[in-house]
Amino acid sequence: MPSSRPTERRRFGRCGSDELYQPRYDGASLPNLSHSVVHATGRELADDVAPLPSLAPRLDPFGGRRANGPIVIALIDGFGWDALSLWARGKSPAAARWRAAAQPIDTVFPSSTASALVSLSTGAAPSQHGVVGHRIYLPRFRRVIDLLTHTTVGVDRPRRVDGPGWNPTHVSVRPTIFRRGVPAVALSRDRFRDTGFTRLLYDGAEYVPYSGAVDWAARLVRLLNRPTPPEVVWTYWDELDTVRHLWGTQAALVRLELDRLASLVGYVATHVDRRRARTVQLVITGDHGLVPLDPAAQLNVATIPTVRRWMARPLAGDRRVGFFRARPGHRADLVAALSDRLPAGSLVRPVDSVGAAGLFGPGGDPALLDTRVGDLVAFVPVPHGLVDRSPSLPPPSRPLRSAHGSLTEAELTVPLIAGPLAAFRSNRRQA
């Protein structure tokens, strides 16, 4: 049974005089899992440019072999190793089973949902696909864009950019593994259907929407019980992340949500045909962990004249790691202003230094990072955060109590839980 914390030795990337955790893109990260799935379907991505390897043999759920049945990849938003550890400290039998099957792998940097999910669906690192954060500058729209909502950032009236004529290539420079020949069904929320981010993630896959917890379980059972089931089912669950953002470190609520999710998985395992359930390979993982966030310790750059004066465009990145573009000729002024106002323990580094340290991943086009990130990357310590919110807007109805995006071990490390679907059955079949 794994310990409460990962025991793998961490790799560091040198960023100037600093050593920062570097995601293990060489065989222990989310995009490596994608390549393991590709190989398990018996396919190769012949058009791959600077490809990443599959998961290391000790991690690969398929052992480098072709799967003998359907594959289900279940991505649980906010399911970091920290959440698994909290859950396992309770008395839940399901937590004990999941933890016994878990191994630690890494998400990507930034440890944000947008970057992680695109890395998983493309099999590429952020440096390679270009989705280098929750909010990035896209030259086509000449704006910083919130990728989850596909809306403009830094304006009082955001506008959507995923209307007629929108194409996934406007955002990611790498196509999905589904577009490149891996047949799959994407099972995700009905409210996400036809949004730009969903179309980006699942381009080339069949989309099956679900409306709630029971509907998710019932639709997954129906998919796997088809006379000819899908080779791959790619499914996404968002509610753990919501619980953790709104309620922070309250372990009882994390356990409540994970117990509920394990019950749903148990229902699926129990109601899929028994013979087929033994051939379905279920892989459960997450996109990031979370760290505590103090609502009173959020630095709003929109309200700091000495910082705003030297910014050429709105803040990009994520709450725990900010991307800044300086006005031409004023990068040093922006560095000085940030150094004066950021909390103690913050780091401000040039984007080329962060890229050279391998934090965004190997390869890629330095010009892409320069365009989409900007000049500077600012890391803030726990429990601080960075926002860019117009003073004219009303405050959020509910402040966030935890966040992610940066390079702490808690944010980077996620579980990889795998086994035949039958191993996740409930103790007894319900009528």
DSSP string of 250-319, one letter each residue: -HHHHHHHHHHHHHHHHHHHHHS-HHHHTT-EEEEEES---EE--GGGEEEGGG-HHHHTTBSS--EEET
Label residue 3 by pLDDT band (50, 70, 90): very low
Confidence at residue 44, expressed as pLDDT on a 0 to 100 scale: 84
**pTM of the complete model:** 0.94
Confidence at residue 190, expressed as pLDDT on a 0 to 100 scale: 96
Using alpha carbons only, give the angle 287, 292, 298 rounded to the nearest 5 degrees. Answer: 105
**Of 185, 182, 227, which is closest to residue 210 (Cα–Cα)?**
185
Strands 385-387 and 298-300: parallel
Domain 22-126+167-291+409-424 matching CATH 1.10.1270.20: the answer reads: no
**Of 216, 126, 227, which is closest to residue 172 (Cα–Cα)?**
126
Ranking 11-25, 243-257, 390-404 by mean pLDDT, the lowest is 11-25
Could you name the CATH architecture of 295-403?
A: 2-Layer Sandwich (3.30)
Label residue 155 by pLDDT band (50, 70, 90): confident
The CA-based dihedral angle spanning residues 224, 228, 231, 235, taken in that order and rounded to the nearest 10 degrees: -30
Residue 11 has pLDDT above 80, yes or no: no
**Exposure of 3 by Cβ count < 10 A (0-12 exposed, 13-18 middle, 19+ buried)?**
exposed
Ranking 194-208, 277-291, 309-323, 391-405 by mean pLDDT, the lowest is 391-405
Label residue 430 by pLDDT band (50, 70, 90): very low
Residue 174 has pLDDT above 90, yes or no: yes
Residues of the chain with CATH 3.40.720.10: 22-126+167-291+409-424
What's the pLDDT tens digit per position in 37-51?
999 999 887 666 667
Label residue 395 by pLDDT band (50, 70, 90): confident
Label residue 314 by pLDDT band (50, 70, 90): very high
Confidence at residue 428, expressed as pLDDT on a 0 to 100 scale: 47
- Read off the DSSP letter of residue 428: S
What's the pLDDT tens digit per position in 177-219?
999 999 999 999 999 999 999 999 999 999 999 999 999 999 9
Using alpha carbons only, give the angle 80, 280, 44 rounded to the nearest 5 degrees. Answer: 80
Confidence at residue 397, expressed as pLDDT on a 0 to 100 scale: 81
Residues of the chain with CATH 3.30.1360.180: 295-403
Spatial contact of 255 and 92, defined as CB atoms under 8 Å apart: yes
Residue 30 has pLDDT above 60, yes or no: yes
- Over range 267-271, report the average pLDDT: 97
Cα–Cα distance, 26 to 47 (Å, whole number): 19
Label residue 135 by pLDDT band (50, 70, 90): very high
